[in-house]
Structure 1
Amino acid sequence: MNNEDEFYDAVTGLDSDESCEGTSEASFKDAIVFDCHQKNNGTPPQENGIKKHRTTLPAPMFSRNDFSIWGILKKCIGLELSKITMPIVFNEPLSFLQRITEYMEHTYLIHKACSLSDSIDRMQAVAAFTVSAVASQWDRTGKPFNPLLGETFELIRWECSGFRLISEQVSHHPPISAFYAECLTGDFVFHGSIYPKLKFWGKSVEAEPRGTITLELLKHKEAYTWTNPFCCVHNVILGKLWIEQYGTVEIVNHSTGDKCVLNFKPCGMFGKELHKVEGYIQDKSKKKRCVIYGKWTECMWSVDPQVYEVNRKTEKKGAADTKKQKQEESAGAENDEADDMPEVQETVAVIPGSTLLWRVSSRPAHSAQMYNFTSFAITLNELEPGMEAILAPTDCRFRPDIRAMENGNMEVASREKERLEEKQRAARKERAKEEQEWSTRWFQLGTNPYTGSQDWIYTGGYFDRKYTDCPDIY
C-alpha cells in the first residue's frame, strides 16, 4: 500500500439522546422557508437523471472486529498523521470530497438567513448552520477515502435545497480540498478549503481545523467567515470509539461587524459537558444581543442574555450541592486501557422563553448497518443511468475502489485502492521528470477577500460541462 496515504478527517462518535426536552416551549415553524416544489407546477426539476434519491446502500457494512489499528499507529505518538498507510477496512465508502459536502445537509438554514431582515436574526441562522455542519460526524467510525489529486465531486439538489456544489482535490501534500456551492436562485454562495492536521496521542486522534469557510448572503451583501472546531477521536486502539468537538469558533459578519462566539465544550471529568455548545452574538458595539446554547448532536436554541444569566445562577446553586459528592465517588477512579465514554448523556435543558434554531435530522432505522450514514450521506455516491454522460470523468462516483466497497466487495476495493495510489505516484514521478507542476482545474490559489488569508478560489466554468482537459486519474 501507499506509504504516502494520508489519514485525515478521522471522525467517529457515540450514542446521543434522541430528543430534546421542552420542545413545546418554543417553535420554529418557519425553519424551512425554501420549497422548490412551488416551481415548475409543483414538479421539482431533474438533474443528473435522478428522480428519487436512494434510501439504502447496495450492501451493509462489514465487521471491523478482526482488525487492529495499533500496529499502524504505535510508532506515531505525538506526530502528525500525514503519511500513514491505513487499510481499507477502516474506511467508509465515501471520498472526503463527498464528506465535506455533508455541510449542505441543512441548507434550509441558509435560506432562512436569506429571508430575515434583521442582521442578528440572520447571524442566529448562520450560527445554527455552522453547528449543523458538524452534526453528521456523530457516530461515524470510518474514515473517508483520501481524494486523489484532481478528483472532483459535484452535487446538485434542485428539490427543496436549491443549490449546486463542486469540489476539487487541489493538493496532495498537504491534502487540501476546495469547494464552492451556490444557490440556484442567486441568494448565496458558500465556499472554502479544508486541510485538517491530525496527531495521534496514544489513545486518541486529534484533528486541528485548518482552512477558512465563507458564506456570502448576496441579497444582504453580507459575508460570514469561520473555522471549524477541533475534534478528538477517543479509543482508536481499545474500547468504544467516540468523538468530541471542542474549541472556540468565531463567526464574523464582515459587513455589519456582528460576531458570534461559539464554545464547543470538551467532555470534562464527569461527562457533563459532552457535546455541549454555548455562545453568544454581539453587535458591532460589542453589546451581547442573545445567547445560543445546545448540543451539536441534537439541537440549538437562542435566548435573551438576561434570562440566560438568571437561569444559570439557579443551576449553579443546585449543582454546588452535588459536585462534592461526585468528586468523592470518582476519586481514584482511573482507566489506563480506554477513555470511557460518559454513561450519562442528558438532553438539552431548554430555558423557558428560548427559540429553537435547529434540530438534527433523524437517521434512518438501518443507519448502524450503513456506516452510521445520515439519509443525506446515503445518497451522495449513487450513480444513476445517464449520469456518466453529465459528470466530469474525475468525479468521485467513478472511483472503482469506493464503488467496490459500497457494493460489499472488499477484496476488489483494496486492490483498486492500491492500483489508484500507484497510478498517482507514477504520474507524480513523471511530472517531476518533465519538471512540470500540477495544474488545478476548477480552483486557483488566491486570497480570501474578507480575511486576507490564503484561500482556494473557484474560477468558474465547471457547470458548462466542458471536461475535455480533465486529467486521467482513475
Structure 2
Amino acid sequence: MIQDEAAAGPRATTAVLTPPLSLDGGLAAEHRPPNLLRRVLSFFGSVRPGSDLTQFQLPSLFNMPKSQLQCYGEAVYCFGEDYLNKCAKGKSSLERFASVVAWSISTTRPALFGQAPFNPILGETHHVSRGSLNVLLEQVSHHPPVSALHATDAKDNVELIWCHKPVPRFHGASVEAVIKGKRHLRLLKFGENYEMDSPNLLIKLLPTTGADWVGDVSIRCKDSGLEADLCYYKSHAFLGFGGSSKSIRGKIFHSKTLKTIYEIDGQWDRIVKLKDVHSGEVTILYDAKKAISGLKTPILQAPQNLWPTESATVWSEVSQAILNKEWGKASAAKQIIEEKQRKLQRERKSSGELWVPKHFTVTHTKENEWDCSPLEQSVPPAPIIVHP
C-alpha cells in the first residue's frame, strides 16, 4: 500500500503563508490577474452546461495563492471573536445550541469571484495550531476531491470532524458548487454532538457577476433534541440586479414538537439577530465584523517539524509566483505538480497498489456518500501557528 504520496522526496521547509479570507481584504484585488472577467467568460464559453468542473484543470490565472485545505482550515483557526469557545461555555443546552449556530455562521467566509484555491493533491495536509486548538486536514481523495478535517481543543473539551466533497457544476449563467459531506462539532464535557451542513457556493456570470453562499443548512443535536434550519439567500431583486446577496434566515426549534423557540434573521457578513418567539426579545446572535475581520496570517514557527505534505509547502512555488504576478512561472510550477500526480496515479494503476490516507479512515457508500474518521484521538501541536 502507498500511504504518503505527497511526501515523496526530501523533507522541505519552504512554506508560503498568505492572509486569510476576511471582511477587510485578505486576498482581494491586489492578486488578481489583468482582464479577469474577460478571461473567466472565455474559459466558461468552452464548457458545456451541466459539466462537472472537477474534471477540468483550472488555469493558474484563476487561482488564489493557497490550497482549498487552507481555506477550510482558516474557517476554524482564523477568527476575531472566539465563537467556538462560547459553545463550550454555555450554561444550558439551549444556550450552547445557539452558540453552535453562531459558530457555524462564523465559518462562512467571503468568496472571490473568478478566483479559486488550488485543488489539493492526494495526501496533501494542512496542520495549524492556535493556542490549545490544533487543526489537521488531509486530502483523502483526488477524484472526486474529498477533504477531511480533525480539530481538538483539550482546554475547552471540543472536537471537530469534517468531511467535505465539493461538486461544482456549470449551469450556463452560473456555477454552483454543492458542498456534500457533514460537519460534526462535539462538546465532550456535555456529551453533545452537533451535526451540520455547509452552504453552497454560487458563482454568477450573468446578468451580473459575483460569488455568494446560498442554500439550506441544517444543524441538529440528537442529545438535546434541538435543531436549526438556516437559509442563505439573495433578498428580493429586480431582474437580477440589486438586493442583498448575503442574507440569512432561519429558526431554532424542538425536534419532537417542531415548536419554534427562536427566529434568526440578518446578513452573515454583518449582523445576525435572534428573536425569542415567546417574549419577543431580540438579541445579537452573530457579529461578522468582530468574528471575521482583522484576522492574522499564520506563521511558520518550527520549520524543522514541517511535513513535506503541508499545503503551504506543496504549493509554495506556485503561490509565490502568483503573489509576484508572474503568471507564466505560476503555470509552469503548477503543471509540474499536476504532471507528477498523474505519473504517480499511472504507477499505482499499473502495479495495483492501493493508496490509503495517513490520518483518517475513509468509507463511502454506493450512493457515493463519504465518511471520514480520524485515526488519532487528538491532534498534536503544529509547526504553523496563529497568534491569538
TM over 0.5: yes
Q: 1:142 aligns with which of 115, 119, 129?
A: 115
Structure 1 residue aligned with 2:254: 283
Structure 1 residue aligned with 2:288: 360
Structure 1 residue aligned with 2:34: 64
Q: CA deviation at 1:101?
A: 1.1
Equivalent residue runs for 1:102-117 within 5 Å: 102-104=74-76, 105-106=78-79, 108-117=82-91
Q: CA deviation at 1:411?
A: 2.6
Q: 1:242 aligns with which of 173, 191, 210?
A: 210
Task: From the superposition, tell whether residues 165 and 392 of structure 1 become closer, same or farther in structure 2 (CA, over 3 Å).
Answer: same
Structure 2 residue aligned with 1:394: 309
CA distance in 1, matches of 2:321, 2:294: 20
Is 1:130 aligned with 2:101? no
Q: TM-score when scaled to structure 1?
A: 0.67
Count of residue pairs the alignment pairs up: 347
Structure 2 residue aligned with 1:421: 338
Equivalent residue runs for 1:143-222 within 5 Å: 143-158=116-131, 162-222=132-192
CA distance in 2, matches of 1:264, 1:110: 21
Q: Which has the higher contact order (CA 8 A, sep 6+)?
A: 2
Secondary structure of the residue that 1:69 maps to in structure 2?
helix
Secondary structure of the residue that 2:269 maps to in structure 1?
coil
Instruction: Looking at secondary structure, tell me which structure has more strand per residue.
Output: 2
Show CA shifts across 1:33-54 (max 9, x none).
Answer: xxxxxxxxxxxxxxx9xxxx98
The root-mean-square deviation of aligned C-alpha atoms, in Å, is: 3.0
Q: 2:65 aligns with which of 79, 93, 96?
A: 93
Is 1:299 aligned with 2:271? yes
CA distance in 2, matches of 1:240, 1:64: 19
Structure 1 residue aligned with 2:6: none
Show CA shifts across 1:70-124 (max 9, x none).
Answer: 3332232122212112211111011000011122134711211211111111111
* Matching residue's letter, 1:247: G
Equivalent residue runs for 1:424-443 within 5 Å: 424-443=341-360
CA distance in 1, matches of 2:74, 2:43: 29
Secondary structure of the residue that 2:162 maps to in structure 1?
strand
Q: CA deviation at 1:246?
A: 2.3
CA distance in 2, matches of 1:109, 1:54: 20
Q: CA deviation at 1:211?
A: 0.6
Q: 2:375 aligns with which of 444, 459, 474?
A: 459
Task: From the superposition, tell whether residues 218 and 426 of structure 1 become closer, same or farther in structure 2 (CA, over 3 Å).
Answer: same
CA distance in 1, matches of 2:364, 2:114: 35
Structure 1 residue aligned with 2:9: none
Does structure 2 retain, via aligned residues, the 8 Å contact 1:390–1:465? no
CA distance in 1, matches of 2:378, 2:351: 28
CA distance in 2, matches of 1:389, 1:140: 36
Does structure 2 retain, via aligned residues, the 8 Å contact 1:281–1:290? yes
Task: From the superposition, tell whether residues 359 and 421 of structure 1 become closer, same or farther in structure 2 (CA, over 3 Å).
Answer: same
Larger radius of gyration: 1
* Matching residue's letter, 2:346: K
Aligned identity (percent) is 26
Equivalent residue runs for 1:374-393 within 5 Å: 375-376=294-295, 379-380=297-298, 382=299, 384=300, 387-393=302-308
Does structure 1 retain, via aligned residues, the 8 Å contact 2:129–2:381? no
CA distance in 2, matches of 1:248, 1:86: 28
* Matching residue's letter, 1:409: E
Secondary structure of the residue that 1:243 maps to in structure 2?
strand
Structure 1 residue aligned with 2:23: none
Q: 1:274 aligns with which of 230, 234, 245?
A: 245
Secondary structure of the residue that 1:85 maps to in structure 2?
coil
Secondary structure of the residue that 2:55 maps to in structure 1?
coil
CA distance in 1, matches of 2:172, 2:364: 37
Structure 2 residue aligned with 1:337: none
CA distance in 2, matches of 1:212, 1:132: 16
Q: CA deviation at 1:245?
A: 2.4
Structure 2 unaligned blocks of 5 or more: 1-12, 21-25, 383-388
Structure 1 unaligned blocks of 5 or more: 1-47, 309-352, 364-372, 467-474
Does structure 1 retain, via aligned residues, the 8 Å contact 2:111–2:212? no
Secondary structure of the residue that 2:194 maps to in structure 1?
strand
